[in-house]
Amino acid sequence: MRIALNIETIGARRGGAEKYAGTLCRCLAAAGHEVHVFAREVDAGELPREICIHLVRPRGFPGLGFLKAYQFAQASEAALRGEPLDLIIGFVKVWYQHVYVAVGGSHIATLVYNSRRQRGWLGRAAWWLGKAVSLKQWIFQAISRKQFGARYAPHVIAPSRMVAQHFQHYHHIPGERISVVYNLLDSQLALDDSGAARAAFRREHGLGGDEVAVLFAARNYSMKGLRPLLEAFARVVADCPRARLVVCGSGRDGGYRRLAASLGITRQVLFLGFIDDARPSFAGCDVFAFPTFYDPCSLVVLEAMGAGLPVITTRQNGAGELLSEGRDGYVIDSPWAVEQLAARLRLLLTDDDLRRRMGVEARANVERFTIRAGREELLAALERAAADPQASPRLRSAA
């Protein structure tokens, strides 16, 4: 098929959806499809040379940055309408597509779960008021209405059962128009020598051979639960003198450094800031903790499992559906279940055999969710989307 991806940016450094779009491009090209990318920015070297890149750069206006996403969606529709395509795959905040790959989940669900970062009702009320007066949120809601309205009506590929339920509940999409395909790990990106990478990482960051390192990696520390993780970690440090917490992914960590200091764990927490390549951090650590408030199906969880790390995450993460409780990871009730999180951390930090055994199970389990193992399921879902009469190319071209 002649397939196009409609996404504002592609690049492993930009976020989960942008990284997964690159993985999907490589998968489709390897399957023999003619792949086109319509994007505002594509990181150099991310895609195979045979993929055709069409840069879509709408004109911006000073002081109107909140319109940026809408302007791209509008411009990408104009560019795509002029192309003879069999299938258009959309990501995140675009509406011109036959199939929507919901790597970012439902925007409405994101808001609902994000509000729960506030512990009290007053904080949540203030948070919702801020969203109600945000021009950017008005634009996002306008895009969402167009994405799933009757005129465009894409078939949805959800990365977890949780997300499929969100699209049925919040967007009223029938179950038969949703395919569930978990996010897939591109195992070709694995390190060639993880042992050497581990030794180098631990040497660079002063981790001793007997120290047990818990890794937290994210771009949005607040949404992904760093605060409750710091609180839980502080409760286990006294029982686990070898424990260290490694935090990476963002340079906006001033408030979390102050929180660590107030909890008395400054010496036990390493803040690495933004890093170009997270793979050495997976190799250098022993446990992955990700108490997220919302994640459709976290790629970083799959990457941690692929590196042989037992995982702790929440029921608000679609990737939790892939874990076997107590076998390759733990799924806690919510990020604010701090005692529950601390108990799971204590188990993994104090029992070397349990930690190693669960790491081996994690690596074996994730093999089911690699591109190599799941490619046919993903391609079959795209074929179903192409055959969906409500999202057919023929109807779309006449819309």
**pLDDT for 232-262, tens place per residue?**
999 999 889 999 999 999 999 999 999 999 9
Query: Of 311, 146, 117, nearest to 214 (Cα)?
Result: 311
Q: Are residues 152 and 26 in the same domain?
A: yes
Q: Are residues 6 and 114 in the same domain?
A: yes
Q: How confident is the model at residue 286 (pLDDT cuts 50, 70, 90)?
A: very high
Q: Are residues 36 and 90 in the same domain?
A: yes
Q: How confident is the model at residue 371 (pLDDT cuts 50, 70, 90)?
A: confident
Q: Compute the average pLDDT of residues 88-98.
A: 92
pLDDT for residue 350: 95
Q: Are residues 278 and 393 in the same domain?
A: no
- Give phi and psi for 124, each to the nearest 5: -65, -40
Q: Are residues 173 and 200 in the same domain?
A: no
Q: Are residues 45 and 173 in the same domain?
A: yes
- Return d(Cα 246, Cα 215) in angstroms, integer: 5
- The string of pLDDT tens digits covering residues 113-132 is 999 999 889 999 999 999 99
Q: What is the mean pLDDT of the chain?
A: 91
CATH number of the domain at 390, please. Answer: 3.40.50.2000
Q: What is the dihedral of CA 314, 318, 319, 324, to 10 degrees?
A: 70
Q: How confident is the model at residue 91 (pLDDT cuts 50, 70, 90)?
A: very high
Q: How confident is the model at residue 398 (pLDDT cuts 50, 70, 90)?
A: very low
Helix or strand (DSSP H, E) at 137:
helix 135-147
Q: Are residues 14 and 130 in the same domain?
A: yes
Q: Are residues 156 and 179 in the same domain?
A: yes
Percent of the chain scoring above 70 in pLDDT: 97
- The string of pLDDT tens digits covering residues 186-196 is 876 778 888 99
DSSP 58: P
Q: Are residues 113 and 234 in the same domain?
A: no
CA distances for 5 relative to 175, 199, 222, angstroms: 24, 39, 30
User: Domain containing 315: what range?
Assistant: 190-369
pLDDT for residue 383: 86
Helix or strand (DSSP H, E) at 378:
helix 371-387
- The string of pLDDT tens digits covering residues 302-357 is 999 999 999 999 999 999 999 999 999 999 999 999 999 999 999 999 999 999 99
The model carries a pTM of 0.90
The number of folded domains in the chain is 2
Strand partners, 42: 10
Residue 384 has pLDDT above 70, yes or no: yes
* 159 neighbors 103 (Cβ within 8 angstroms): yes
Q: Are residues 219 and 321 in the same domain?
A: yes
CA distances for 393 relative to 73, 385, 389, angstroms: 18, 10, 9
CA distances for 381 relative to 26, 93, 170, 376, angstroms: 17, 21, 22, 9
Q: Are residues 178 and 290 in the same domain?
A: no
Residue 392 has pLDDT above 80, yes or no: no
Q: Compute the average pLDDT of residues 51-78.
A: 88
Q: Are residues 353 and 381 in the same domain?
A: no
